[in-house]
C-alpha cells in the first residue's frame, strides 16, 4: 500500500523482503504507468545484519540519498487466548502455547529489525535531508494499534512487541533529530495483509471480509481498512516536515472502544 501510494505520486520506490519472486511480482503488478516506479531490491532478511549491510551497499551504489524509509516487516507470533477464569487453567494454556523462542522471534522481527534497518540507512537518509532541506528525510515505522491497547487479543508477545515498536519510534525520533531525520509511526488497525489474512493473491494483495471484522465487535467502521486510507497516512507523514515523533492510529475507531495507553 505504501509503495503504491508513493510511486503513484511520482516517487522511485525500492522494495525489499525475503522472497525474490514476491518482490518482482509486486513491482511488475503495481508499478504505475507514468511517473514513479517500484524497483525490487535484495532479497533481504531484515533480521540479519549482513543482509541489511548488503542492502545498504546495493542501494548506495544506485542512489546518492533516499528521502524516506518505510519499516513495515512484522509477524504475529504465537497465540493463546487468555480466556480461562481459573488461574491453574490459565497458566496451563499460556504456558503450553507460548515459548521464549516465539517471543524472541516476534520481538526480533517487529522491533529489533526496525532499529537496525533504520540505523543501516541513516547516512542515505541524512543525505536526503541535505539535498531537500531541513528534516525533510524521514522514517515511517509501521507499528500497530495493538501496541497501544491494553487488550492482549490472544497474543501477548505481538502486542508487547508492538508496544516496543511504538516506543522505539519515539526514541529514534528524539535521538535522530540531531542528524535531521524525522521518525513517525503509523499504527494500523485491521488492514488486509499476508499476516492478517494468512494469504495473498497473484497480485500480492490480501482481503479480509467485512463479516470477519464485524465478528470482533469492537470496530466502529465495521470493515477492514482500505488501500487509499493507508496511502493518505503515508503521504501525510512523508510530506509534512513539521510532524516528528508522532504515532498516528489508522484504526477505524477501535481505540475509542478498546482501552488504550
Which tens digit of pLDDT belongs to each residue from 100-157? 999 999 999 999 999 999 999 999 999 999 988 777 899 999 999 999 999 999 999 9
pLDDT, one tens digit per residue, over 171-192 is 999 999 999 999 999 999 988 7
244 or 261, which is more confident = 244
Tell me, what's the pLDDT at 69? 98
pLDDT, one tens digit per residue, over 22-49 is 899 989 888 888 778 999 998 999 999 9
Cis peptide bond upstream of 43, omega within 30: yes
Question: pLDDT class for 199, splitting at 50, 70, 90?
Answer: low
CA 6 – CA 11 distance, rounded (Å): 5
Tell me, what's the pLDDT at 64? 96
Task: Give me the percent of the chain exceeding a pLDDT of 70.
Answer: 95
2-257, superfamily in CATH? NAD(P)-binding Rossmann-like Domain (3.40.50.720)
The pLDDT mean for the chain works out to: 92
Boundaries of every domain in the chain = 2-257
- Which residues make Cβ contacts (< 8 Å) with residue 74, sequence separation at least 6? 109, 110, 142, 144, 162, 195
Closest of 144, 145, 157 to residue 73, by C-alpha: 144
Question: What positions carry a catalytic annotation?
Answer: 143, 158, 162
Tell me, what's the pLDDT at 123? 98
For the segment 1-8, the average pLDDT, to the nearest whole number, is 93
Residue 165 has pLDDT above 80, yes or no: yes
- Which residues make Cβ contacts (< 8 Å) with residue 42, sequence separation at least 6? 16, 17, 20, 23, 51, 54, 55, 58
221 or 199, which is more confident = 221
Amino acid at each position: 500500500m505504501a509503495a503504491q501510494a508513493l510511486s503513484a505520486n511520482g516517487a522511485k520506490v525500492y522494495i525489499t523482503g525475503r522472497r525474490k519472486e514476491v518482490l518482482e511480482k509486486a513491482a511488475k503488478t503495481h508499478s504505475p504507468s507514468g511517473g514513479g516506479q517500484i524497483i525490487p531490491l535484495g532479497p533481504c532478511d531484515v533480521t540479519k545484519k549482513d543482509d541489511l549491510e548488503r542492502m545498504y551497499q546495493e542501494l548506495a551504489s544506485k542512489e546518492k540519498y533516499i528521502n524516506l524509509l518505510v519499516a513495515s516487516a512484522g509477524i504475529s507470533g504465537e497465540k493463546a487466548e487468555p480466556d480461562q477464569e481459573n488461574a491453574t487453567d490459565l497458566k496451563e494454556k499460556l504456558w503450553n502455547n507460548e515459548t521464549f523462542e516465539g517471543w524472541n522471534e516476534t520481538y526480533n522481527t517487529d522491533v529489533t529489525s526496525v532499529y537496525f534497518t533504520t540505523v543501516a540507512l541513516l547516512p542515505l537518509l541524512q543525505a536526503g535531508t541535505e539535498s531537500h532541506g531541513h528534516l525533510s528525510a524521514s522514517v515511517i515505522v509501521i507499528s500497530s494499534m495493538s501496541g497501544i491497547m491494553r487488550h492482549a487479543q490472544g497474543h501477548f508477545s505481538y502486542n508487547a512487541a508492538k508496544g516496543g515498536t511504538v516506543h522505539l519510534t519515539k526514541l529514534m525520533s528524539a535521538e535522530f533529530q540531531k542528524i535531521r531525520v524525522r521518525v513517525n509511526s503509523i499504527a494500523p488497525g485491521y488492514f488486509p495483509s499476508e499476516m492478517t489474512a494468512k494469504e495473498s493473491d497473484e497480485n500480492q494483495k490480501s482481503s479480509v471480509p467485512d463479516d470477519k471484522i464485524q465478528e470482533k465487535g469492537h470496530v466502529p467502521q465495521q470493515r477492514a481498512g482500505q488501500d487509499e486510507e493507508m496511502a493518505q497516512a503515508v503521504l501525510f507523514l512523508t510530506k509534512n516536515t513539521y510532524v516528528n515523533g508522532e504515532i498516528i492510529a489508522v484504526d477505524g475507531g477501535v481505540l475509542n472502544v478498546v482501552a488504550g495507553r
